[in-house]
Amino acid sequence: MLRRDSNVLARPRGLSHMAASAARLSCGIRLVHRMSIATLDPASLGRLRGVADGARVVVAMSGGVDSSVVAALAKAAGYDVVGITLQLYDHGAATGRKGACCAGQDIHDARRVAERLGISHYVLDYERRFRESVIAPFADSYLAGETPIPCVSCNQNIKFSGLLDTAREIGAAALVTGHYVGWGLAEGRPALYRPADLARDQSYFLFATTRDDLAYLRFPLGALHKAEVRELARVLALPVAEKADSQDICFVPNGRYSDVIERLRPEALTPGNIVHVDGRSLGRHDGIVGFTVGQRRGLGVAGREPLYVVRLDAGRAEVVVGPRDCLRVRTIMLKDVNWLGDEPVDGGGAMRERVSVRVRSSQDPQAAFLSREGRAAAVVLDDGEFGVAPGQACVFYSADSAARVLGGGWITATSANIDETWFGAEERRAGRQLGARAAMAAVPGD
């Protein structure tokens, strides 16, 4: 359902009107000399590469600081800005919880920002679609013993898919978002990059963006740091300038994902055994949804050494625990790979591509080999990684600087060894040598 908050889904306004608005915003920035803000010109920052002057653009407005600043920058640059907010859920504690997004208060905040800027604002009711495409698969993934990342699914199936269709329907030249990622051209084609503010890097969550969608998307915050964005919001007197950033999983009340799963799938919570990797039964649990691979605290069992969750066996309802060394992974198997590089990576049992990868959004990229067959792939990590779980994403970056996003896929399985079905003897030897060098480098000198 589409709700209209202002009545401007008509033809674009006159350029003179937009130019005057842009001039007022631009002058407001130049007259305030705080930190480095005096050097930032909203009209320049809001310019979208490849988008004609005065064109209509849609800004995805979540009600937070980032998307609100993006809307202000696009307005300052002279575009005909249409703000659209998605109502994704509205259930009790999650709606009013600090750190949530896309619920009642956020819609109200987005509307206030739109009024402040004098732009059109619409609300799309996506509650059912969000429940079916994000929340339900999230619960099912946990019940299967995986560790899902709903933010990737939300971007892929909700925010981009639905908003892109709407933007095109109303004649917009681009969909603009407040993600901290870079957008540019490589070999004449749109490419995705890590942002200037690596502490806010959201490229991990956008690996599934298709080439066609990337050509239509723009990310103005890729060149800015969070402190600059926050200060821009203050100088522009946006009503959300001091609003806290969203955190955790937006639809999870009090940050407890198990509560959501228990409510959606109460019949699927099956008690079972907590088993040591050596086969010993150590205790019982109330359901595997209360555990994740790599977890140490709250296991409910004790051992002679620190124990970690090594894997979850949904079929047997078992939580398998062991020492930390059992968590080390070298090979990662992937499905549903989305490739954004210039040339395809061929499989055939050879390591054809040197890349950097991330298996968590919070970690730095690490060196790896990549081999791909269709939409399946295998990655061999030079140094290995601990606690990698099925359901997580593995995102590829350029090998040289790790700046460009080359795509990624969903993790289906892991191994402590190099998978011989994907990689030949020569590459296995190279991988062992790299691993040995990494181990030697980690040993303190005399």
Q: For residue 351, what is the domain's CATH number?
A: 2.40.30.10
State mean pLDDT over 155-177: 91
The label of the residue with tokens 């062991």 reads 322
Could you tell me if 225 and 86 lie in one domain?
A: yes
Residues 294 and 345 in one domain: no
Task: Say yes or no: 144 and 204 in one domain.
Answer: yes
Q: Which residue has the higher pLDDT, 269 or 314?
A: 314
Q: What are phi and psi of 322, to 5 degrees?
A: -175, 180
Distance CA 290, CA 287 (A): 6
pLDDT at 289: 86
Confidence of residue 242 (pLDDT cuts 50, 70, 90): very high
User: Do 409 and 275 lie in a common domain?
Assistant: no
Residues 6 or more apart in contact with residue 101 via CB below 8 angstroms:
62, 63, 64, 246, 250
pLDDT band at 143 (very low <50, low <70, confident <90, very high): confident
Q: What pLDDT does 422 receive?
A: 57
> What is the distance, to the nearest Å, from the Cα of residue 108 to the centroid of all Cα atoms in its chain?
24
Q: Kindly calculate the radius of gyration of the chain based on its CA atoms and give it in whole angstroms.
A: 24
Q: Are residues 294 and 309 in the same domain?
A: yes
What pLDDT, on a 0 to 100 scale, did the predictor assign at position 258? 75
Residue 262 covered by a domain: no
The verdict on 302 and 191 lying in the same domain is no
Any idea which residue has 């995705």 for tokens?
Answer: 192
- Region of 15 please: left (phi>0), alpha (psi -120 to 50) or beta: alpha
Per the annotation, the verdict on 154 as an active-site residue is: yes
Task: Give pTM, 2 decimals.
Answer: 0.81
Same domain? 311 vs 341: no
Task: Give the DSSP letter of residue 346.
Answer: P
Structure tokens at 127: 């509650």
Return the percentage of the chain with pLDDT > 70, whole number: 79
> Is 261 domain-assigned?
no
Does any domain span residue 399?
yes
Indicate if the alpha-carbon torsion angle 186, 191, 194, 197 is positive or negative: positive
Q: Are residues 225 and 95 in the same domain?
A: yes
Task: Specify the pLDDT at position 436.
Answer: 44
The better pLDDT of the pair 110, 158 is held by 110
Q: Please report where in the chains the tokens 């739109």 appear, as a residue.
A: 114
Is residue 7's pLDDT more than 60?
A: no
**Residue 250 belongs to domain with CATH number:** 3.40.50.620
Count of residues for the chain? 446
Indicate if 124 and 33 belong to the same structural domain. Answer: yes
Mean pLDDT of the region 194-208: 95
For residue 265, tell me if it sits in a domain: no
H/E stretch holding 356: strand 353-358
Q: Tell me 345's DSSP state.
A: P
Say which of 101, 151, 154, 394 is annotated catalytic: 154
Tell me the CA distances in angstroms from 55 to 49, 52, 75, 383, one per residue in order. Answer: 12, 6, 11, 48
Is residue 446 one of the residues assigned to a domain?
no
Q: pLDDT-based confidence at 253, cuts 50/70/90?
A: low
Looking at per-residue pLDDT, the higher value among 320 and 23 belongs to 320
How far apart (Å, rounded) are the C-alpha atoms in residues 338 and 41?
36
User: CATH number, domain at 289?
Assistant: 2.30.30.280
Give the chain's count of helices (H) and strands (E).
13, 18
pLDDT tens sequence across 87-104: 887 644 443 444 445 557
59 by DSSP, 3-state: which?
strand
State the pLDDT confidence band at 31, using cuts at 50, 70 and 90: very low
Catalytic residue among 101, 102, 250, 394: 250
Range of the domain at 40: 2-254
- Mean pLDDT over the full length of the chain: 82
Residues 13, 133, single domain; the answer is: yes
What is the rounded distance in angstroms from the CA atom of residue 64 to the CA atom of residue 154?
Answer: 17
Q: Are 69 and 223 in contact (CB under 8 A)?
A: no
Whole-number pLDDT of residue 154: 85
Taken in order 227, 229, 230, 235, is the CA torsion positive or negative? positive
**Domain count within the chain:** 3
Chain CA centroid to CA 435, Å: 29
User: Region 57-75: what's the mean pLDDT?
Assistant: 97
